[in-house]
Amino acid sequence: MADYAIRQLEEIPDVLGDYPGEMRMTAASDLGNEQVSFTWRRMPAGTGGKGSYGHRHKMQEEIYFVASGSLQFKLEEEVLDIEAGTVVRIAPRVCRSVWNEGPDDAVLIMCSIKSDDPEGDHETVADFWPE
């Protein structure tokens, strides 16, 4: 394998299935990344975690970048309105969820270390963001 890889975003699998929008993760691709995880997510209005669950990581820090639109972040008990061009660092153990109130699509980019055991580091928190 070469010491570099180039892919078009559309070549990275969309892992959302029937859920509205798109989420393309390098962990689900053949990019060959060994240390860094990159996720691109397009969120239509009215999608995300509100009325649903949140999640936290045991060890993994995440960096979120709102590339377009605006999003609401729920970080523990605080709800924040975050505009395009804003970077949000979330430490391990902080419960989080993201919601697009709309009216437009938003694009969110997430970066973290690549985990060999993503499910082992991930904890779902039911009823985290009631409507």
Domain count, the chain: 1
Domain for residue 51, yes or no? yes
Domain for residue 5, yes or no? no
CATH number for the domain that contains residue 109: 2.60.120.10
Domain for residue 103, yes or no? yes
Domain for residue 89, yes or no? yes
pLDDT value for 30:
84
Give per-residue burial for 59-97: e unless 16+ CB within 10 Å, then b: ebebebebeebebbbbbeeeeeebeeeeebebeeeebbb
Domain for residue 7, yes or no? no
pLDDT band of 1, cuts 50, 70, 90: low
Specify the pTM: 0.93
- For residue 49, what are the β-bridge partners? none
- For the segment 108-118, what is each residue's pLDDT rounded down to a tens digit? 999 999 887 87
Residue 66: give the domain boundaries: 12-129
Domain for residue 2, yes or no? no
